[in-house]
Amino acid sequence: MIKVEWLYWLVGLVLVVMAVQMAADRTNPRRWTSAAFWGLLGLAFPYGTGVADATAHNGGWTLPAEPLGVAVLALIVLAGFNFLGKGEPVTSTAEEREAAATRLGSRIFVPALTIPLVALVCASLLDTSGLFEKGKATLLGLGIGCLVALLVGMLVTGERKLSVPLHSGRSMLEAMGSALLLPQLLAVLGSIFALAGVGTQVGRIVHDVLPDHSKYLAVMAYCVGMFLFTVIMGNAFAAFPVMTAAIGWPVLVQQMHGNEAAVLALGMLAGFSGTLCTPMAANYNIVPATLLELKDQYGPIKAQIPTALPLLACSTAIMALFAF
Amino acid sequence: MIVLLGVVVVILGFVTRRNPVLVIGAAGVFTGLIGGMNPLEVLAAFGRSFADSRSVTVFAVALPVIGLLERYGLREQARRLIGRLGALSAGRFLTVYLLIRQTTAALGLTGIAGPAQTVRPLVAPMAEAAAERSTGAALPDRLREKVRSYAASADTVGLFFGEDCFIAIGSILLITGFVNSTYHQDLEPTQLALWAIPLAACAFVIHGARLLLLDRQLQRETALAHAEHDLPLPKGTDK
């Protein structure tokens, strides 16, 4: 049986290899701290095997969680105080890429499409085959899809050296920087909020305000709350753990028995409507305005608000009508 | 009630534009401590939830493949595909772009387009050219800004409401990571992606309709702008 931990070890290995490449890259002004960041992140993946809940029941090796906590804080310090740098990207010139595009044509899309295709096949057809750890077929499908796509990609492009995709991937890693870690850190923050009882408190306030057992009002509170919180923070990922711990999970799923996938997916999308409306989401709204040299930096937001509001209504309505 | 100060830390951090990683780290430590955990328990909570949410970062294994393909002209080829659509009106062109952006994002190809990669070099200039061709005159500045704003909006809306149909995207994995680690569930990304499809359809219908209406608006307003230029209307007339 293929276990999800193997995939985490693969991710860790890829990150450690890229960290070694970074340490050797003299064009990166902060190569040692960059290598420390990605190497530490890579090592945190296999170490996590001994810490994660799922494996503790397997009678597997258990490790204390505190050192991993120290490592996470070290990652936060390295990323938070700008210790991450970039080297000269190892890539092709514009002319080489144009020539390759002419030579390969639309065949270049085949490896890219392989990833979702393999992931879907694993999630739907092979899920019940017993080949994968229970409940992890999709995630493992993604990992296998990437390996298959890498093979297909090297065949299609005629690339022989494995170091080429690794170098290109590393350049993308350097370009993304700490943004790559953000979703996981927000999940961590969400868990700590839950442990400390933040959601329960917001939930209590909502409970006092909401009339009892009013499904429609609770759905509206969750969706509009996601929308407003996202407008304030500029990031649906940051709003999600708070609003879900406050209303989404305790009220809509546990108390009113809503379909959890529907509630959570639509709640997140209600937050995305908020991202369309806020200058706080600078990378989506202000950056395009400056890139396009607009005099009115709110131009894209103005073009998006009349779409975002009906979409908020749609997600609220779909949740109210189909999630219960 | 006092733990709500943790939320205040997050809001203040994001509002004052601090480094998001630091904001999240500080809010986590602060909330844990005022929530009654001792420092070792806070560390353990960081470590355990980090281990439980590792699935969120798994997409990093896709980077070498995408990097390899970009090196061999993935973006250039995407550009050529869009280039073949240049003969449409501005609204129709942007609607087709919205559809392409949504479909590719739904297949996980979120990186092949974006404001820097496609909107500035391709989509906005082509939409402007199409608008000028169909109205038969140079666009006044205000309308030029409008067309560019709509080009940016087509990209963003397409990305946001396409990517959630793909199982390996950050937001979907954040949901499963958060719920599975906090509430000990076994939620699968595919279930969430399925529920994103109806809203993706709504987004296409609503924003697509607005993009198509843009054509009419452009016709009317350029006609008006040129009429005004030739024969000034009396002051106070509403546009």
Look-up of token digits 């997916």: A265
B49 touches chain A (CB under 8 A): yes
Residues A219 and A295 in one domain: yes
Asked whether residue A108 is domain-assigned, the answer is yes
Are the CB atoms for A246 and A237 separated by under 8 Å? no
Domain that holds residue A220: 181-322
| Same domain (yes/no): A198, A270 | yes
pLDDT of residue A62: 83
Interchain CB contact of B35 with A (< 8 Å): yes
Boundary of a domain, candidates A52, A80, A108: A80
d(CA B50, CA B55): 10
In a domain, A169, yes or no: no
Other beta carbons within 10 Å of A101: 20
Domain-located, residue A309: yes
| Residue A279 belongs to some domain of the structure | yes
| Domain presence at residue A165 | no
Q: How far is CA A245 from its chain centroid?
A: 19
3-state SS class at B236: coil
Q: How many CB atoms lie within 10 A of CB B81?
A: 13
Mean pLDDT of A200-204: 78
User: How many angstroms from the chain centroid is the CA of residue B135?
Assistant: 30
Structural contact between residues A69 and B47, judged by C-beta atoms closer than 8 angstroms: yes
φ/ψ (deg, to 5) at A132: -110, 155
Average pLDDT on B12-40 reads 88
B139 vs B109 pLDDT, higher one:
B139
Given its phi and psi angles, is residue A213 left (phi above 0), alpha (psi -120 to 50 degrees) or beta? Answer: left
Residue B239 has pLDDT above 50, yes or no: no
Q: Is the pLDDT of residue A97 over 80?
A: yes
What are the tens digits of pLDDT across the range B159-208? 999 988 887 677 888 888 888 877 888 888 888 888 999 999 999 999 99
What is the average per-residue pLDDT within B14-43?
Answer: 88
Q: Which chain B residue lies closest to A250 (C-alpha atoms)?
A: B183
pLDDT value at residue B231: 52
The stretches of chain A forming alpha helices (DSSP H) are 4-23, 31-49, 53-56, 66-80, 94-104, 109-124, 137-157, 163-176, 182-196, 198-209, 215-233, 236-243, 260-276, 282-291, 299-322
Measured between beta carbons, which residues in chain B are less than 8 angstroms from residue A268?
A: 164, 171, 174-175
**Same domain membership, residue A231 and residue A156:** no
- Residue of B14, B61, B63 with shortest CB distance to A238: B14
Do the beta carbons of residue A258 and residue A252 sit within 8 Å? Answer: yes
Q: How confident is the prediction for chain B on average, in pLDDT?
A: 84
CB contact under 8 A, A269 and B50: no
Check whether residue A122 and residue A199 sit in a common domain. Answer: no
Into how many domains does chain A fold?
3
Q: Count CB atoms within 10 A of the CB of residue A154.
A: 18
Contacts of A92 in chain B (CB under 8 A): 71-72
Query: Closest Cα of chain B to A215: distance in Å?
Result: 19
- Residue A73 inside a domain? The answer is yes
Query: Are A21 and A68 members of one domain?
Result: yes
Same domain, A142 and A30: no
Residue A303 shares a structural domain with residue A219: yes
Q: Which of residues 101-130 of B touch A (CB under 8 A)?
A: 107-109, 112, 115-116, 119-120, 124
Last residue of a domain, one of A58, A80, A102: A80
Residue-averaged pLDDT of chain A: 87
Distance from CA of A136 to the nearest CA of B (A): 7
pLDDT at A78: 94
pLDDT of B27 strictly over 60:
yes
Nearest to B215 by CA among B132, B138, B155: B132
Two structure tokens written together for A149: 């796509």
| pLDDT, tens digit, 9 for 90 and up, residues B91-105 | 999 999 999 899 988
Whether A120 has a pLDDT exceeding 70, the answer reads: yes
Number of other CB atoms surrounding residue B156 within 10 Å: 27
- Whether residues B174 and A76 touch (CB distance < 8 A) is answered with no
In a domain, A195, yes or no: yes
At B13-23, the pLDDT tens digits run 877 878 888 98
- Per-residue pLDDT band for B236 (boundaries 50, 70, 90) equals very low
Q: Closest by alpha carbon to B98, among B213, B221, B191, B205?
A: B205
Name chain A contacts of B110, Cβ cutoff 8 Å.
Answer: none
In a domain, A187, yes or no: yes
Q: Which residues of B touch A157 (CB under 8 A)?
A: 68-69, 72
Q: Tell me: do A207 and A271 sit in the same domain.
A: yes
User: Do A98 and A146 sit in the same domain of this protein?
Assistant: yes
* C-alpha angle B106-B108-B112 in degrees, rounded to nearest 5: 105
Same domain, A215 and A317: yes
Same domain as A155, residue A207: no
Judgement on whether residues A102 and A134 belong to the same structural domain of the protein: yes
Report helix, strand or coil for A2. strand
Domain end (from A23, A53, A80): A80
3-state secondary structure of B52: helix
- Looking at per-residue pLDDT, the higher value among A63 and A314 belongs to A314
pLDDT digits (tens, 9 = 90+) for B209-226: 999 999 999 888 888 877
A-to-B residue pairs, Cβ atoms closer than 8 angstroms:
454
**Distance from the B110 Cα atom to the nearest Cα atom in chain A, whole angstroms:** 11
Q: How confident is the model at residue B60 (pLDDT cuts 50, 70, 90)?
A: confident
pLDDT value for B230: 61
B93: its two tokens: 């062109």
The average pLDDT across A198-217 equals 78
